[in-house]
Amino acid sequence: MKHFGRSSRRRLLQMGAAMGGGLLAGQQKVLAWDTPGKLGTPLGPYGERSPFEKAVRWRRESGTPETGSSFTPLQDSVGTLTPSSLHYERHHAGIPTIDPAKHRLVVHGMVDRPLSMTVAEIRRLPSVTRTLVLECGGNSASEWAARTGPDVQRSYGLASCSEWTGVPLSLVLAEVGVRPGAAWVIAEGADACRMERSIPLAKAMDDILLAYGQNGEAIRPAQGYPLRLIIPGWEGNTSVKWLHSLKLTDQAYMARDETAKYSDLMPDGKTRIFTYQMEAKSVITFPSGGQTMPGRGLYELTGLAWSGRGRIERVEITTDGGRSWVNAQLQEPRLPIAFTRFRLPWRFDGRDAVIASRATDESGYIQPTREALVAVRGTNSIYHFNGIKYWTVKADGTVTNVEV
């Protein structure tokens, strides 16, 4: 029991009891099943998932399938990583097919020694690996005005977590020699729309990566192959995919995606821009909207918490609509700016239950209620919703996003 602690053991025993022997009674006779009696399929060069697994990204029907968002099926997630095949997408001109042998990263503008590097050259430089969540600034946009996302995929699925490997941007900036007066780095992608964002130099000198690796292999095309800017803790749009140009300037560019988009219209009619930072957030993934409990008894309630400001320190759970809260168990290691899996044994007793999670990060910031958020920012906003999310488990076992 060394690795799991005595409390886990007690919990399971309670679970057995609470199920009235449900796991045991009537099943002792099922001591075998019709297991395969013939050879299986051969070993293969590059494996696939089971044909019985059906989880896919979801996207709204669209006349322009090259633009839009596709959402990670968080309801099917286990652990803390997102499979690269299910990492959320947000594209503005489709996924370019880039030959890494021809691709170049150009670092230019207010620098002493402008630089053009191949991916192979970048891979010779000192690298680091970090597990980081990426979250679209527009994740949970549906939650601002009304709780319209019927399930956790469609309302929270623009967040995914990968292990990224790449070169610290600060090293490359030291190499090119940033000139006095330079204050911004304009990052531009090699997609057809040349998506670009303005990044303050201070952040560029801090913890940004020029990433070429994702979850142990080359970054996937849908996530920026062969090179992506990875900006820890900031809205995903700033982590420019298919990165091909970094230009040092003395001013921000006021690009489309930091003025018309990815800016926050406040109640007074003014707009906040350059609101890069993602705050602490959490959501219960089981039980969640659209799921049905197979019956009464004990379950593992579980979900994901993360913060752009660092580690998750605490996740509290309510199962009575916010009247009382208890601490969930947090999966270690809790890595900064990464998904933290939380878990709590929970008994569904066949009565309506309103459940939610509330995260606190290492800065002491506590995830606010939707009402507190709206009181400050109004309901014109599209971006940066991180309010507490409630699900209702109904007496018949169905789960919805509607509060009782």
Of 249-308, binders to its own copies (CB under 8 A) are 294, 297-300, 302
Question: Closest distance between its own copies and the C-beta of residue 32, in Å?
Answer: 6
Kindly tell me which residue out of 75, 87, 353, 381 binds its own copies, with binding defined by CB under 8 A.
87
What would the two tokens of residue 176 be?
């090119």
Q: Which is nearer to its own copies, 169 or 373 (CB)?
A: 169
Question: Closest distance between its own copies and the C-beta of residue 26, in Å?
Answer: 9
Q: What is the DSSP letter of 287?
A: S
Question: Closest distance between its own copies and the C-beta of residue 379, in Å?
Answer: 28
Kindly tell me which residue out of 61, 146, 181, 217 binds its own copies, with binding defined by CB under 8 A.
217
Q: Which is nearer to its own copies, 126 or 181 (CB)?
A: 126
As a whole number of angstroms, the distance between CA 289 and CA 393 comes to: 8
Within 219-238, the residues that bind its own copies by CB under 8 A are 220-222, 225-226
Kindly tell me which residue out of 18, 150, 170, 362 binds its own copies, with binding defined by CB under 8 A.
170
Contact between residue 286 and residue 299 where contact means Cβ atoms under 8 Å apart: yes
Kindly tell me which residue out of 113, 270, 323, 351 binds its own copies, with binding defined by CB under 8 A.
113
Within 10-29, the residues that bind its own copies by CB under 8 A are 11-13, 15-16, 23-24, 27-29
Question: Closest distance between its own copies and the C-beta of residue 323, in Å?
Answer: 25
Stretch binding its own copies (CB under 8 A), from 85-93, 133-141, 265-273, 371-379: 85-93
Kindly tell me which residue out of 20, 63, 85, 153 binds its own copies, with binding defined by CB under 8 A.
85
Q: What distance separates the 2 farthest-apart alpha carbons in the chain?
A: 78
Question: Closest distance between its own copies and the C-beta of residue 314, in Å?
Answer: 18
Q: What is the dihedral of CA 70, 76, 82, 86, to 10 degrees?
A: -30
Kind of pairing, strands 105-109 and 115-117? antiparallel
**Taking CB under 8 A as the rule, does residue 327 contact its own copies?**
no
User: What track of x and - describes contact with its own copies for positions 45 through 64 (by CB under 8 A)?
Assistant: xxxxxxxxx-xxx-x-----
Question: Closest distance between its own copies and the C-beta of residue 278, in Å?
Answer: 17
As a whole number of angstroms, the distance between CA 149 and CA 10 comes to: 37
Contact between residue 374 and residue 381 where contact means Cβ atoms under 8 Å apart: no
Question: Closest distance between its own copies and the C-beta of residue 96, in Å?
Answer: 4
Kind of pairing, strands 243-249 and 105-109? parallel
65: Cα within 13 Å, side-chain hemisphere: 2
Kindly tell me which residue out of 61, 102, 181, 371 binds its own copies, with binding defined by CB under 8 A.
102
C-alpha to C-alpha distances, 102 to 93, 120, 152, nearest whole angstrom: 20, 10, 40
Within 334-393, the residues that bind its own copies by CB under 8 A are 335, 341, 343, 345
DSSP assignments along 152-204, one per residue: HHHHH-SEEEEEEEEEEHHHHHHHH-BPTT--EEEEEESSTT--EEEEEHHHH
Within 180-209, the residues that bind its own copies by CB under 8 A are 190-192, 194, 205-207
DSSP assignments along 331-372, one per residue: PSS--TTS-EEEEEEEEE-SS-EEEEEEEEETT--BPPPHHH
Residue 335, amino acid: L
Stretch binding its own copies (CB under 8 A), from 75-83, 136-144, 366-374, 385-393: 75-83
Q: How many residues of this chain bind its own copies (CB under 8 A)?
A: 133
Cis link prior to 345 (omega < 30° from 0)?
Answer: no
